[in-house]
Structure 1
Amino acid sequence: MRTGVYLAHPRPGSFNHAVFGAVVEELRGRGADVVAHDLCAEGFDPSLTARETGTVEVASPAHDPQVASHRAEVADLDALVFIHPNWWGMPPAVLTGWVQRVLAPGVAYKLGAAEGEPAGLLKATRALVLNTSDTPADREEREFGDPLHNVWAACVLPYVGIREVRRIVFRTVTDSSGEERAAWLEEARRHAASLLGQEALDR
């Protein structure tokens, strides 16, 4: 199983980096073929260019070699994992830009037979989103709803053909203890293993 794991956090040593390392290690330890990207460390440019804005049927060429490489790679994945903090109810800019430049029309989706309905083009059928947050769950639900759930499970991933979306939130991170973080890392490992199927969990 070929899995792409994408980290969006600019600070080395963050808890997001620890989650990223645990997930990659778990998947590789279970025999998965993992392509791992620390988008900030790799210097991924999130700025969508005018030349990349095409139609929903035909992809505009990616003149940036890094974007072209990511587009080719994501088309061959069986599952995707996204790891990022909740910043203002949004993913960090580098990941938002990755979505816009890589999951492009004509690459990741096109319009289907029904007018306005998307048809996903990706091979991947499942995704895992691991978020960190400093907003308590009851306050977020009361004041904001769950904007990141809407981003991933309603707006982005179903559009490209991914119907099985699991999202886990670790909170609140800033005041968490070492024991809590260790437990969260184990939880992240379990959810990563579940991408490979129940047999992976039983091994």
Structure 2
Amino acid sequence: MNVLTVVSHPRKDSLTFKVAERFAQGLADAGHEYELLDLHESGFDPVLKGIDEPDWTVAEQPFSPEVEAEIKRLKKHDALAFIYPIWWWHLPAMLKGYIDRVFNNGFAYGSSHLHHQHVLWLGLAGVSKEQMKKRDYDEKMTHLLNVGIADYCGISNSKVEFLYETLDSKPEHYERLLDQAYRFGLNYGKDELIATQ
């Protein structure tokens, strides 16, 4: 598969980017091709402006050059991965804005749907697994991403995974998280993504 891996974090030296690199290494070792898209470095503007507002009265509509370029990029890949920190129990604004603008009417939903076979949502959580489950944050985020976005846009093979306690900077813990990321890449597209807990 050819996997577009979208990374959302303002710092290149962040754990998010280290995770993305190890995930990409796993993809490569499994024989997949990939492209890493750094939303911050690319200068992507997450703010939805009038030209990109969905027009429900038409089957297809023209978009801004920036959105058209991202649609063209998405069409070159047959699978997706999103790697991001979890902020306020949600996607970062940059990534949410990317989806708002690019996963648009007539391309991702409406008269047409995304053609991608798989999508992986890999969120980095500062909290523990128990804290995430305490108020069902994990289930709510999983439902939103798998059903509210992926399924709505035609991707039935959608998987949400979390890396926990990312604020614990002990080297051995970081290495476990990076090993999980590698395994997610290595097992990408398989029925069950295998990670070491």
TM-score by length of 1: 0.84
Alignment counterpart, residue 165 of structure 1, candidates 153, 158, 161: 158
User: CA distance change for structure 1 residues 66 and 35 in 2, over 3 Å: closer, same or farther?
Assistant: farther
> SS of the counterpart of 2:34?
strand
Choose 185-194 or 44-53, whichever is displaced more: 185-194
User: CA distance change for structure 1 residues 17 and 160 in 2, over 3 Å: closer, same or farther?
Assistant: same
- 1:29-108 matches, within 5 Å, as 29-56=29-56, 57-63=58-64, 65-108=65-108
> SS of the counterpart of 1:167?
strand
What is aligned with 1:139?
131
CA distance in 2, matches of 1:196, 1:137: 24
User: When the two structures are aligned, how many residues end up with a matched partner?
Assistant: 190
CA distance in 1, matches of 2:54, 2:162: 34
Instruction: Point out which structure has higher relative CO (alpha carbons under 8 A, 6+ apart).
Output: 2
Backbone CA RMSD of aligned residues: 2.1
User: CA distance change for structure 1 residues 136 and 68 in 2, over 3 Å: closer, same or farther?
Assistant: same
How much identity, in percent, do the aligned residues show? Answer: 25
CA distance in 2, matches of 1:94, 1:178: 29
What is aligned with 2:28?
28
What is aligned with 2:168?
175
What 5-or-longer segments of structure 2 have no aligned partner?
none
TM-score by length of 2: 0.87
What 5-or-longer segments of structure 1 have no aligned partner?
112-119
